[in-house]
């Protein structure tokens, strides 16, 4: 596909009424931001009752910095997650749009698997983390999504679980759009769980194993995927107008990856009748303290949204009827 030029920067699509004195120098806030993150302060004040606690002053400074930067449009790239998204593609055309744009209009499952990997794949190899939590059923029941977007799919455990749930709940046409570069992470094949994965010329065949898992789950018509990094895939979905009512963000767990993915995913949320929902895993373990939780909490503060907790997952409902993109 032809590489299209980037659109010129447009004002951020979220509007804020808050205006903070221009005399306050953004550089001061930026220093606060760095300090707050490097010292991990942002994670210390939140637990289940996050929204009922008052954040300490230095956290307010970070939130003000981000808000001022967004609303003034002067912050350069730091909080700029791209232009206004394209006009919404109707839900029933989303699969077709992605097949056309990513796969030249041909299902990647046609003639799958290729002979050279056929005997290297397992019939089913689904391993994930927290991919069967009750949160999935709770949210799918509530939102009844036509389109689910999953950022961070790995072997497809939670995606296939969601397909199963949509079927069980009579949502016959729901598409699950999976985003993953299918590379795992550097060194993941040393992990005890994955050391048996076959490697072909340095490629661990994660994408093919994911595809095989989808075949095994009879879900090739319910799942479509974007085999790219989350940033580039989310940016394109925005540009193409591919939105979802339920978006799971579960890719990079460091603060910067999570912050970027959450902000980009937010733009793709299309509130359904029960509201749109953004959610993700790993809000509570010690390791998450360093990244995901701080990104989620900062995001919620900046947008004045409430973080709910369901098992190990964070959940943000967008129910504001005047919510606009």
Q: Which of 3, 38, 49, 172 binds ligand NAG (CB under 6 A)?
A: 172
Site string for ligand NAG, 14-33 (x = CB under 6 A): ----x---------------
Return d(Cα 91, Cα 146) in angstroms, integer: 6
Report how many residues bind ligand NAG under the rule CB under 6 A.
6
Q: Least CB distance from residue 174 to ligand NAG, whole Å?
A: 10
* Footprint on residues 39-98 left by ligand NAG (CB under 6 A): none
Q: Least CB distance from residue 278 to ligand NAG, whole Å?
A: 17
Return d(Cα 230, Cα 48) in angstroms, integer: 28
Asked if residue 291 binds ligand NAG (CB under 6 A), the reply is: no
Contact 34, 66 (CB under 8 A): no
Nearer to ligand NAG (CB atom), residue 216 or residue 285? 216
Asked if residue 156 binds ligand NAG (CB under 6 A), the reply is: no
184: alpha, beta or left, given left = phi > 0 and alpha = psi -120 to 50? left
Q: Least CB distance from residue 135 to ligand NAG, whole Å?
A: 21
Nearer to ligand NAG (CB atom), residue 110 or residue 172? 172
Contact 43, 62 (CB under 8 A): no
Q: What is the Cβ-side half-sphere exposure of residue 128, based on CA atoms within 13 angstroms? A: 22
CA 151 to each of CA 9, 121, 136, 262: distance values in angstroms, whole numbers, following the listed order:
25, 23, 14, 9
Nearer to ligand NAG (CB atom), residue 126 or residue 234? 126
Nearest to 136 by CA among 124, 145, 125, 127: 145
Q: Least CB distance from residue 15 to ligand NAG, whole Å?
A: 11
Query: Rounded to an integer, what is the distance from CA 76 to the centroid of its chain?
Result: 23
Asked if residue 217 binds ligand NAG (CB under 6 A), the reply is: yes
Asked if residue 170 binds ligand NAG (CB under 6 A), the reply is: yes
The residue to which tokens 């790993």 are assigned: 282
Asked if residue 272 binds ligand NAG (CB under 6 A), the reply is: no
Q: Which of 7, 218, 232, 319 binds ligand NAG (CB under 6 A)?
A: 218
Q: Least CB distance from residue 81 to ligand NAG, whole Å?
A: 20
DSSP 141-163: HHH--SEEEEE--TTSHHHHHHH
């Amino acid at each position: 596909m032809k590489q299209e030029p980037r659109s010129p920067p447009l004002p951020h699509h979220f509007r804020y009424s808050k205006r903070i004195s221009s005399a306050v120098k953004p550089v001061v806030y930026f220093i606060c931001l760095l300090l707050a993150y490097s010292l991990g302060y942002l994670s210390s004040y939140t637990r289940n009752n996050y929204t009922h606690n008052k954040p300490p002053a230095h956290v307010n400074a970070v939130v003000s910095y981000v808000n001022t930067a967004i609303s003034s449009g002067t912050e350069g790239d730091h909080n700029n997650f791209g232009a206004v998204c394209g006009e919404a593609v109707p839900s029933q055309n989303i699969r077709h749009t992605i097949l056309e744009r990513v796969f030249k209009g041909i299902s990647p499952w046609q003639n799958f698997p290729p002979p050279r990997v056929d005997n290297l794949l397992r019939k089913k190899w689904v391993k994930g983390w927290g991919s069967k939590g009750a949160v999935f059923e709770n949210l799918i029941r509530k939102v009844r999504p036509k389109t689910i977007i999953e950022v961070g799919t790995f072997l497809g455990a939670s995606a296939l679980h969601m397909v199963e749930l949509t079927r069980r709940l009579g949502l016959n046409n729901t598409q699950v759009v999976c985003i993953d570069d299918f590379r795992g992470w550097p060194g993941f094949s040393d992990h005890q769980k994955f050391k048996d994965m076959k490697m072909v010329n340095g490629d661990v065949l994660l994408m093919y194993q994911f595809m095989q898992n989808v075949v095994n789950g009879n879900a090739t018509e319910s799942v479509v995927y974007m085999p790219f990094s989350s940033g580039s895939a989310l940016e394109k979905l925005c540009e193409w107008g591919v939105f979802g009512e339920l978006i799971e963000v579960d890719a990079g767990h460091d603060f910067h990856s999570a912050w970027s993915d959450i902000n980009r995913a937010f733009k793709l949320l299309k509130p359904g009748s029960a509201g749109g929902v953004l959610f993700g895993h790993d809000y509570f373990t010690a390791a998450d303290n360093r990244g995901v939780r701080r990104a989620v909490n900062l995001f919620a503060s900046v947008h004045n949204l409430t973080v709910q907790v369901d098992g190990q997952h964070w959940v943000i409902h967008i129910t504001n009827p005047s919510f606009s993109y």
